[in-house]
Amino acid sequence: MAAGAGFHVTQPGSPVATSLCPGEAAPKHVGILEIAMVDGKKSHKLTKIRLKTVRPFYIKTVSLFDLDEKIAAMGKRANVKTFSEHALEFCTRHIEAMIEQSIRDHPSNGPQPKLPLIRLRVEHGIEHETFSPHLVARMFPERVANLRDIVLFTKRRGTVTKDDGALDMNCLQEVANAEALARSRVEDLARAVDALKEVPESKLIEEISQLKTRFTDQPDISAEEIERRVEARKGKRSIVFKKRPRQSQGCIIFR
């Protein structure tokens, strides 16, 4: 309710998960707006109804730093497997738990989509050995709807202070990443940008300039493809005009 303005604001959104982010994991609703005249005054009521046929979506964040402690507690037994194998088992257990939670929350009877959307955000450091997300996809066929992007690895962000003038480039690159941008909502981008507010302005401008140069210097595949096709067509035309001309009624005809 806007203070003193006398009006309400509601912002409808999509009834399905448009991006795999925490905000989309909340229950989906539709609203029935009723407008009427009561005692000569306009009145309205918005009734919220939860949707029952939305594909289940579960998201969770885990950290490989927690796995470090568990491996240390195992002692010599942990040496049987590599760290990436331990990490794969660690993540698989969390994914299995989310799938089981989906089964409990959404019984199979009814028109609701049965395969859930699962997103596991895995926080790691530069010292951690990770695994290919494709290994996870092979482990859950016909059990998860989004097999290609179940696991999302994210680097732990460092603490940024005004004193050291450091800039969290991981955060900045996440905001600038085109693929992440396409999946993000305004709220997600706002939270990412908030992390940059403590950085000195001069340092921020310098790093953004470097990042911009890095992105713009990358070759544009689409542009290269267009140029290649144009050059190919030019080559064909030059070949045609290099053919021996044939005389016909006093004119030169090229084929």
**What's the confidence (pLDDT) of residue 150?**
92
Contact 187, 18 (CB under 8 A): no
Length of the chain (residues): 255
In DSSP terms, 253 is beta-bridged to 246
Domains of the chain: 55-156 (3.30.110.110), 160-222 (no CATH)
Q: What CA dihedral angle connects 53, 54, 56 and 61, to 10 degrees? A: -160
In this structure, the strands spanning 117-124 and 151-155 are parallel
Q: What is the pLDDT of residues 199-220, one digit of tens each?
A: 666 666 776 766 666 555 555 4
Q: Coil, strand or helix: which one is 165?
A: coil
Q: What is the pLDDT of residues 150-162, one digit of tens each?
A: 999 988 765 444 4
Tell if the pTM clears 0.75, that is, is over it. Answer: no
Residue (of 175, 224, 211, 209) closest to 195 by Cα position = 175
**What's the confidence (pLDDT) of residue 170?**
53
Contact 131, 139 (CB under 8 A): no
**What's the confidence (pLDDT) of residue 79?**
76
Question: How many Å apart are CA 95 and CA 150, to the nearest integer?
Answer: 8
Q: For the chain, what is the mean pLDDT?
A: 72
* 254 pLDDT more than 50: no
* 90 pLDDT more than 70: yes
Token output for 5: 């303005």
